Amino acid sequence: MKEVRDLAGKVAIITGGGSGIGLGCVRYLADVGAKVVIIDVNESAGEAACEEIDGKAVFIRTDVSSSSDCRRAVEEVAQRFGRIDILVNSAGVIRRKNVVDLAEEEWDLVLDVSLKGTYLMSKYVIPVMERSGGAIVNIGSGWGLKGGPQAAAYCAAKGGVVNLTRAMAIDHGPQKIRVNCVCPGDVDTPLLRSEAVQLGADESTFMAEAGDRPLARVGTPLDIAKAVYFLVSDLSPWVTGAIVTVDGGGLA
């Protein structure tokens, strides 16, 4: 089984890799042998993550909503490693507001990072990846599959990520590129905890309520990273266009 689990020789780009789910994916994929490229706009977080992985990762500061930044980052990876085997589109932000209260610039920010960023990174990675095939995992959300309160832009962005995944799987399957989506439930990350602040809620109460699901806890970045690993590894050679819910039974 070692050859199935081992990602040695693979090059993986992970957006939003400086914290939260992205950092969980960085840690896990590096641990199973991949050479990891951390993409994040937060330079201090990206450098700290890179230092933690120590020799198994490099950091490239990138604003995923910028076409020029994404193109430059992908060109740097291709030049340095000569290949890209895995792309995890994890970068995202949230603003807990309805459409009336949401400012236009907040709508633009959420859509630009979560949805446009997924498009841009994929746009530049795929021409490199198609040389030898590969796997893309887009991080969606349970709220990309159903609605949620006070999160209009986030629901719109993640709903777009879910269906963009299906379109990409259809378009790029002939190039031996598999494209799947993981839709997490509430995961204990700085992003989730920031929602309590945005809503003016007590953080401990907010987190306890987030764990009200059949498995009776919030998720961890490692929970999501393991699902991502399944989808980028040889354990799922005939899986593409799939939307995998990882939420402790929350949607159930």
Q: List the structure tokens of 161.
A: 């990520």
Separation between Cα atoms, residue 199 and residue 193, nearest integer Å:
10
Beta bridge partners of 182: 139, 244
Concatenating the DSSP letter of every residue in 205-247 gives HHHHHHT-STT-S-B-HHHHHHHHHHHHSTT-TT--S-EEEES
Separation between Cα atoms, residue 54 and residue 180, nearest integer Å:
29
Give the list of residues 6+ apart from residue 105 with CB closer than 8 angstroms, or none.
none
Separation between Cα atoms, residue 21 and residue 143, nearest integer Å:
16
Task: Answer whether 46's CB lies under 8 Å from 23's CB.
Answer: no
Separation between Cα atoms, residue 92 and residue 103, nearest integer Å:
18
- What is the set of active-site residues? 154
